[in-house]
Structure 1
Amino acid sequence: MSDRPSIHQTSAGNEEPALVRASLARWLAAVMAGLAALLLILVCINLWLLHRSIRTAWEQDQARLFWLLCQDGSTPAERARAFLRLAASGNRQWRCARLEKLRLSGVNLPRANLQYANFSQSDLSRADLAEARLRGCLFQAANLAHANLQKADLTDADLLKADLTGANLREAILRAASLEQATVRNANLILADLSEAHLLMADLSGANLTGADLTGANLESASFRGAELALSRLNGANLTDADFSGSNWWRARGLTARQLARLRQRFAPSDEASANRRRDFQLWLKAWQEANGEPAKPRPP
């Protein structure tokens, strides 16, 4: 008899190592998949812990900033830095905040809720406060020069002696606001609501008040020198001692015959006015005289 293995024995011997290798490969694949899953879980846990740590640090920083802002012992510079950082991080709720005497030039707070906040003597020049809620705010002696206040709600706000030079107040609501002795030179007040506002001794020289509502406003001793008043409403406004030199007051609406007569007598365009403004006044004057049965006076040669 021969001792050589049969063909079947040889085939079985070859299959056993192959099966072992396949089983080992499957085991290794399962181990690798498990390790990958474990690694992924560890990464997720670490990311969550990192996020939690960052969030905790952020919340602690926010709390510290609010503490600095609210403490009487903080310097104005510390309070200003705290407020600017809080505003930059997205805080938009500042109702009744005490923000007086701070340097906040250029701050961006569009659509923020700042109702009844105190900004007295603060620098808000070139700030973006478009559509902000500023009802009842204190802006006494504040610097709002060239600030963007378009469509902002400043109802009942106190802007005593505030500087609004060149500010954008287009469609802003200033109903019953106090702008006593405020500087509003060259400001954009197109379609602004200034009804029942107090503008005693305010300076609105060069301001654009096209379509603005000044119904019932107190304009005593205010200056409208060179202002644009076309289609503005002055129904019931107090014009005592107001200066309308160089403005097109005759294009306003709601003036009484007595007010028009006084304005015509005192503030007819001078020779320094533009030719277009003088011509516009003469056209209005002619129409007004015809409507009131007043004989036209011959123009000087």
Structure 2
Amino acid sequence: MSANSDPGARRHASGFPFLWGAAAVLLGLLTFNVWLAADLHRQQRRNSFERDFWLLCQPGSSPAERETAFLHLASAGHREWRSAELRGLNFAGVSLPGCNLQQAVLVRANLARANLEGARLSGATLDLADLTAVNLSQANLTEARLLQVALKGANLRRANLAAASLEQAQAENADFSAADLSDVICLMANFAGANLQGANLSGAKLESASLKGANLSLARLDGADLTDADFTHANWWAARGLNARQLEHLKKKFAPTSTAPRELQADYQRWSQASGPR
């Protein structure tokens, strides 16, 4: 008897189409369930983000709720915070490079150790904010308000602070190298130990500011107001743009003393000899 005449074989062969059909249906159901779950997840994320934005915009939300909402949105990659009301919130250590915080209100906000490299903060209000050790390198802070801000150890290399207000700012040991500080208001600001190498301080208001031990190599001071500024142990002679009257005043009042670092004393002596009597 041939295999073709075997009834069992015929039944076995006829069952394959059914199995393939069942497998296709099962695969379709699985695919649909996966798509449905993904769509549900996307909808939940959208709802969550909408709730976060709502919390940030509601004045009745608690600081804790607003901080959580902001950090949730930031972790999701949201970078647009123009004119945001972020007063008094704690964002210490947050990473938002390149974000847009133009016109944002960050009064008393805590941004210590935050990464805001290349951020846009023009016109922002940061009065009394904690920016200790913050990274603001190459950030745009033109016309920003930083009254009594804490900038100790901050990185502002190549930042643009033109026409900003740093009145009474505490910027000890901050790095402003190659930064634009033209026309900035620094009344009674503390730049002790700050690195201002190559910074543009043209037209800056430095009245009663402290620049003790600051590095002013190649800094531009054209038209700057130095009234009652303290240049103790600072290399002011290495700056550019000082007029003869300012140089004479600084030489009489802030020539390095025996308590200054030896390297600073030697550099001053070389400059003094090269420049001749004044």
Residue type matched to 1:17 in 2?
S
Q: TM-score, normalised by structure 1?
A: 0.89
1:123 alignment partner in structure 2: 110
CA distance in 1 between partners of 2:99 and 2:10 (Å): 66
1:14 alignment partner in structure 2: 2
Q: How many angstroms does 1:270 deviate by?
A: 1.2
CA distance in 2 between partners of 1:153 and 1:30 (Å): 68
Identity %: 48
CA distance in 2 between partners of 1:183 and 1:29 (Å): 81
Helix, strand or coil: the match of 1:57?
A: helix
Helix, strand or coil: the match of 1:259?
A: helix
The answer to whether structure 1 residue 86 and structure 2 residue 70 are counterparts is: no
Residue type matched to 1:16 in 2?
N
1:248 alignment partner in structure 2: 235
| Superposed CA offset, 1:70-115 (max 9, x none) | 1111111221121111111211110100000111111111111111
Q: How many angstroms does 1:23 deviate by?
A: 5.3
1:227 alignment partner in structure 2: 214
Q: How many angstroms does 1:15 deviate by?
A: 4.5
Which residue of the other structure, out of 169, 174, 186, is the alignment partner of 2:161? 174
Which residue of the other structure, out of 79, 82, 94, is the alignment partner of 1:95? 82
Residue type matched to 2:196 in 1?
L
The answer to whether structure 1 residue 113 and structure 2 residue 100 are counterparts is: yes
CA distance in 2 between partners of 1:26 and 1:188 (Å): 81
Residue type matched to 2:123 in 1?
G
Which residue of the other structure, out of 253, 260, 269, is the alignment partner of 2:247? 260
The answer to whether structure 1 residue 199 and structure 2 residue 186 are counterparts is: yes
Q: TM-score, normalised by structure 2?
A: 0.96
| Superposed CA offset, 1:57-78 (max 9, x none) | 1111111111111111111122
CA distance in 2 between partners of 1:173 and 1:102 (Å): 25
Gaps (5+ residues) in structure 1?
A: 1-12, 296-301
Residue type matched to 1:167 in 2?
A
CA distance in 1 between partners of 2:60 and 2:170 (Å): 33
Q: How many angstroms does 1:25 deviate by?
A: 4.7
1:43 alignment partner in structure 2: 30
Change (3 A) 1:265 1:51: same
Residue type matched to 1:271 in 2?
S
Which residue of the other structure, out of 161, 176, 183, is the alignment partner of 1:189? 176
Q: How many angstroms does 1:21 deviate by?
A: 5.8
CA distance in 2 between partners of 1:25 and 1:149 (Å): 74
Q: How many angstroms does 1:52 deviate by?
A: 1.1
Q: How many residues align?
A: 278
Residue type matched to 2:45 in 1?
W
Provide the aligned C-alpha RMSD in A. Answer: 1.5
2:197 alignment partner in structure 1: 210
Q: How many angstroms does 1:36 deviate by?
A: 2.2
CA distance in 1 between partners of 2:76 and 2:22 (Å): 40
Residue type matched to 1:220 in 2?
E
1:160 alignment partner in structure 2: 147
CA distance in 2 between partners of 1:275 and 1:81 (Å): 51
1:63 alignment partner in structure 2: 50
| Superposed CA offset, 1:261-300 (max 9, x none) | 11101100011111111010000001111xxxx38xxxxx
Residue type matched to 1:148 in 2?
N
Residue type matched to 2:257 in 1?
S
